[in-house]
Chains A and B, each alone.
Chain A
Amino acid sequence: MLIVKHISKNFGSFQALAKVSFEIKKGDIIGLLGKNGAGKTTLMRILTSFITPSSGTVTIDGDDINKHSLTIRQKIGYLPEKPPLYENMTVQYYLKFAAEIKGVPKNKQLIQLAKVLEECDLEQVKQKTIATLSKGYKQRVGIAQAIIHEPKLLILDEPTSGLDPIQIQQVLTLIKNQRDQRTVFLSTHTLTEIEQVAQRILMIKSGRIALDAPLSDLLKGTNSSQSQPLTLEQVFINHHQPQPSKNKIKTPKKTNYQVQDE
């Protein structure tokens, strides 16, 4: 569905992404991990056409992002790290505006609006001004605008950032419910959240893909000192803080994931 080939992005002399390549199949939920400044947001912004890559290609369902940007954007729903909300609008007005600019046919706009209000549990706040909503509600409004045009690919940049535990669970449930309808590409710093929703992990380190593996394969490994199953947190640390050899965490022997160490 999504094919990324040798994407690089330079900002002046700084290389934010270096020859990133991966493929995503329809219906997957992909967790994108990486430290701050690793290149996650840059990658997401390239996938959404917000910025163009310095080199490389991105295709979605065969459409090249450089040649068919509008077609691609029609297929993508995007929630940036900071929800892009017009605070003076009511939830309903904002979502209707989102439906209009995202090309939802006029006769289907109210149907789609009702659908996302229900799906994101926003019915009771639809008449409220966005500025008066809690952060959790604002995040859900952000997700609602991202899915109102039924995109094939949903890209979420740290959708649980700054939320309390209950709000996080609500947002994660909402993301899990997308699985049947669309492919989800999700970035977060909270690894336990990724464990709950993702099927596959992409780890990015200094602008390069450091790890690309199914989550289940990753967690099959064991910590040698305690003979306990690995957690995603241990995998993450293992890739970012090289351990002394005697304490080094074992990675699974028979897996089909690719580790692309620099």
Chain B
Amino acid sequence: MNKTFALTKKELHGLFSSPVAYIILIVMLSLFNIFFFLSIDQNREVSLRDVFQLMEFMLVFFIPLLTMRLFSEEKSNGTMEFLLTAPLTHTMIVLGKYFSMLIFFSLLIGLTVIYYLIVEYFGDPDPSSMLSGYIGIWLEGAFFIAVGLLVSSWTSNQIIAAMVSYLILFSLYFATSFTQYVNGNVKHLLIQLSTHTHLENFAIGIITPSDVVYYLAGILLCLVLTRLSIDNRLWH
């Protein structure tokens, strides 16, 4: 566990020793703030439901920028050889990197808790629906990070990693948009695959086992596939 933690620290050090982390935090929080203001101003209700939906859309743009470098940079710099010849298991490497992004993302989401405090000050919001919304958006971010991590393990080119991540995340996000063209099982599959479907329940205060399982299974699947990608050196 110490080695995994060392990798997590190293990733966070890399992130915060460049302007990238600060720029992402500032830009994302600025956008979230605008959405929050517009949502409260237009809806006149003490709920963050619309904010969570807009956050989800922004995560589709922002997560690939964060994850594209995770493995791609190691490969292009030659440091992947350093990690893979050190006495580390591949699981430690995958988890170390994953946890670092999860911590950064949690910090970003944590900073938006002030929205709850603001609506609490001006009205009487339902704390349980707020909490479920935050749990939903956190699970979705965790899932997106796992997707980005997996894609980054396929290539040494950061731009390709970001583009392929965008393709996957947009497909998941917009899956329900294609349901009007199909019927039956395919339609049901698209609805179930869509991240939008699952976050919607969290945003209105409903936590269902199927939604939680969707995110957890997605995260686990991506982490296992990342591990296999490293095992098989798929970028060669």
1/0 per residue, CB under 8 A from B, across A46-60: the answer is 001111000000000
- A149 nearest in chain B by CB position: B87
Binds A, one of B6-14, B147-155, B156-164, B204-212: B6-14
> A19 in the interface, Cβ–Cβ < 8 Å?
no
1/0 per residue, CB under 8 A from B, across A166-203: the answer is 00000000000000000000000000000000000000
Interface range on chain A: under 10, 10 to 19, 20 to 34, or 35 or more? 20 to 34
Total number of B residues with any Cβ neighbor in A under 8 Å: 23
1/0 per residue, CB under 8 A from B, across A69-113: the answer is 011011010101011111111000100011011110010000000
> A145 in the interface, Cβ–Cβ < 8 Å?
yes
- B79 nearest in chain A by CB position: A84
B85 touching A73 by the CB < 8 A rule?
yes
B85 touching A97 by the CB < 8 A rule?
no
Which B54-87 residues sit within 8 Å CB-CB of chain A?
A: 77-79, 81-87
- A151 nearest in chain B by CB position: B87
Give the chain B neighbours of A50 by CB distance below 8 A: 81, 84-85
Which A113-148 residues sit within 8 Å CB-CB of chain B?
A: 145
Q: Quote the shortest CB–CB distance from B18 to chain A (angstroms).
A: 7
> B188 in the interface, Cβ–Cβ < 8 Å?
no
A88 to B77, CA, bound (A): 12
A145 touching B2 by the CB < 8 A rule?
no
A85 and B79 in contact, given A70-B89, A76-B85 (Cβ under 8 angstroms) = yes
Q: Quote the shortest CB–CB distance from A44 to chain B (angstroms).
A: 10
A103 touching B82 by the CB < 8 A rule?
no
Q: Quote the shortest CB–CB distance from A70 to chain B (angstroms).
A: 5
Give the chain B neighbours of A76 by CB distance below 8 A: 85
Give the chain A neighbours of B9 by CB distance below 8 A: 97
Give the chain A neighbours of B78 by CB distance below 8 A: 80, 82-84
A178 to B228, CA, bound (A): 37
> B17 in the interface, Cβ–Cβ < 8 Å?
yes
Give the chain A neighbours of B82 by CB distance below 8 A: 80, 84, 145
A49 to B84, CA, bound (A): 8
Q: Quote the shortest CB–CB distance from B185 to chain A (angstroms).
A: 40
- B86 nearest in chain A by CB position: A101
Q: Quote the shortest CB–CB distance from A63 to chain B (angstroms).
A: 12
Give the chain B neighbours of A86 by CB distance below 8 A: 10, 14, 77, 79
A27 to B196, CA, bound (A): 62
A39 to B39, CA, bound (A): 63
Give the chain A neighbours of B10 by CB distance below 8 A: 86, 97
- A76 nearest in chain B by CB position: B85
> B38 in the interface, Cβ–Cβ < 8 Å?
no
> B88 in the interface, Cβ–Cβ < 8 Å?
yes
A91 to B88, CA, bound (A): 21
A89 to B3, CA, bound (A): 18
Q: Quote the shortest CB–CB distance from B86 to chain A (angstroms).
A: 5
Give the chain A neighbours of B13 by CB distance below 8 A: 89, 93
A-B contact pairs, 29 of them (CB 8 A): A45-B81, A49-B84, A50-B84, A50-B85, A51-B233, A70-B89, A71-B87, A73-B85, A74-B87, A78-B81, A80-B78, A80-B81, A84-B78, A84-B82, A86-B79, A88-B17, A97-B6, A97-B9, A98-B86, A100-B2, A100-B3, A101-B3, A101-B86, A101-B87, A101-B88, A103-B3, A103-B87, A106-B2, A145-B82
A-B pairs, top 6 by smallest CB distance, nearest first, are A84-B82, A100-B6, A48-B85, A74-B87, A73-B87, A82-B78
In the complex, given contacts A70-B89, A73-B85, what are 13 additional A-B residue pairs having Cβ atoms less than 8 angstroms apart?
A: A49-B85, A80-B78, A82-B78, A84-B82, A85-B79, A86-B10, A88-B18, A97-B6, A97-B9, A100-B2, A101-B6, A102-B86, A145-B82
